[in-house]
Structure formats: structure tokens, C-alpha cells
Amino acid sequence: MFLDLFFLFGNLNNNDNLLTYPFRSLLLLTLLLIGLGEQLYPKLSIELFLNCAPVPFSWDGLLFYLEVLFSELLASSWFRAKYSSPWKNCPVAASKFWKFICLTATKMLDKFSLYVSSNCNLSMFWDPWFHGKTLADFGLSPLDSSDLAKDYIANQVWVLLALFPEWLGEMVKSIPILEQSVVSWDGSNHPGFKVFSMHYFSNIQPVSWFKYIWHKRNSLRFSSFAWMVVLGKLKTADVLIKRSISAKLECSFCNSSVETHNHLFFTCDYSLIFIGLLCCKLLISSISPLSCLSGKKISIFLVICCSVYYPWLERNCRNFSGSWDNPTSIANVIRNAIRFKVRNWKHYDKLKEKYPGLF
């Protein structure tokens, strides 16, 4: 897949930057919500990716590092000895990587739940295992900031020092001691990537059209271009000229109207001809995509996405290769692509019976 296939335009300001390569996971994150990949990618790259980190970093990455931090690994022992906890005040001389962990851990404090066990490596005073708070929040001055919670547990019972006020000691003793320590996110001990991504984008309102493009049987190639059409991000003549890029202004199909997203896919006579041919094969005038069965509905959505991809491909062939096909040929190409895509579907026989002209 060439980089140029996913070159999207955006406004040249701080709120809407250019996105040059939306890798698959980011593309799938934005599809359900608002689809503004060019806006979200810079934020995501700054907040969730660290150049000095060994792997791309995200909320699930933070959970992984916390689990490592509280484990018996040599690396976790080094982190605990040097920094005690990501919720402890971060030293000025700390590495960029550790500062990022501390910042993210503080920001996500209300999402984490830490549970104590008799052999856990939770910091006694700096980790928020006490009802989401740290004991340091109550003004305690630990004798040794590296004390672990397990140092205050004997035979599955809390053994507290005199430095604990009586009222606080009783509250600490009410914290259950489990057989095995747990780091959980929103009550789940094994959250998936979807949980973290939905939280990250929780402040963004979903769009109504995502299910027509990013349905469960979507083809990334076809849906990606349909997604860009909805957002007006394809490199049509009007978009190029607005950015002072020389381009042929006339539509490559009719050579009369200005080439825009709306004209190219919805009002050009060329597009209307092959869309009409597909509608006849689908009998789409007699059914409602929203009321038909799931398999039939998805097949119609797939046809719609293909009806964006192949005309755009034909437009590029005319502009850069000097070759061209008529609307009937494009309709047949779309038909073959749909047949190839759905031939292994569970309800293929029913679809073939329902739309014999298409399959």
C-alpha cells in the first residue's frame, strides 16, 4: 500500500494538522467517532507515543508497565528503588520516559484500582491502593519512602507502626488483603485495547454515518476512500487549487463541470450511469437498507463504498495513465469485486438468490 493512498488534507493550523499515514489501529479508532484523523493523530502521537520508549505507548501500555513495576522482575526492582512509585512527586532529574509515566498515571488515577496482597510490591505510602488515595495524601511522613505494603503485613494481617493515627490505622486495617495483587482498569483485570481507545476518545461525539462505512464486514481499501469522501479529503481539483497546487479544474469524466467531491460522486452524468446500473442489479429502489436483514444491508453498504473507490481509480487512470473505461465496465468491475469479497460469507447463497444480477 503506497503512502500516497492515505495522504489527507487538513487546515494548516494547530487544531487541524496534516495526516500522512494513518496506521490501521488509528484509522479504526477514528471510524466510530468523528473521523477526524488529521486532528487526532498529532495529539495521539504526542500523548501516547514516546520517542525514548521501547514500544508505542498507550493506556494499555501504562497498565503493562505498572504490572511490571509491581512484579518481581529485575527492571521493576530498579524502578522501585529509584523512584518508589509513579504517583510520588517526580524528581526533576528523572528521565523523560519516567516523567511521562508519572504524568499519565496521575491523569488516569480515577481509572486504576490497586489491590493489596501479602507479597505485593505496592509502595506503602505512595501508591493509591487506599481507596484511590495514597497514605502520603493524609500527611504521613514515612521513615523510609521505599517501604512496601507487604512490609506491614504478617500472616495476612495488617501490622501498623505507631506513626499511624488510630483512626487512619483502623481504616487501613479495613482494606482486604488478597492472595494475589491486582492492577485493574475500571473494574476489569484484563481490559482490551478497545476499552482504552474508547476512554481516550470518550469526549468526542459519535457520527451517524460510521455504520455505513465501517460495518463489521468492511473492506479497508473501499471503506477508507468512502471515509475520505465523507470528510472531503480526497485530492480533487478544487482542494488542490485551494492550496495553490496546479491541477486540471474540469471533471475528468464530463470535462464540463468543476471537479469537486459532490460533483464527482453524486452529480456527474458518468457516475450516475454506473450507479444506476448497480441500483438495477440490487433492486435498490424496492428495499430500504435500514430495514433489510444484516447480510443484505452490509452488501449494500459494501456496494456504496466500492462505488466511491473505483470511480476515483478511474479518474486517476484518466489523469495519469491516459486510459479510460466506460460506466458499464466500471459497474462490472464493482460487481466482480463485490462477488470476490462476499463469496465466503455465511449467507452468500441467500444474497445470490436475492440479487442475481449482482452475484
Q: What is the pTM of this model?
A: 0.56
* Residue 154 burial by Cβ neighbours in a 10 Å radius (0-12, 13-18, 19+): exposed
**Higher per-residue confidence, 297 vs 31:** 297
- pLDDT tens digit sequence for 89-118: 888 888 887 888 888 888 878 877 888 888
Share of the chain above pLDDT 70, in %: 70
What integer pLDDT is reported at residue 359 of this predicted model? 64
pLDDT of residue 56 exceeding 60, the answer is no
- Domain residue limits, the chain: 59-197, 208-354
- Describe the chain by its helix, strand, coil percentages, rounded to 5: 50, 5, 45
Q: Tell me the three cell numbers of residue 78.
A: 530498579
pLDDT of residue 36 exceeding 60, the answer is no
Exposure b/e, 99-129, CB count within 10 A at least 16 = b: ebbbebbeebeebbbbbbbbebbbbbbbbbb
Integer Cα distance of 120 and 112 in angstroms: 16
Integer CA distances (angstroms), 40 to 127, 201, 271, 294, in order: 31, 9, 33, 31
**Higher per-residue confidence, 3 vs 162:** 162
pLDDT of residue 68 exceeding 60, the answer is no
pLDDT of residue 144 exceeding 50, the answer is yes
Element (H, E) at 182: strand 182-185
pLDDT of residue 312 exceeding 90, the answer is yes
DSSP 308: H
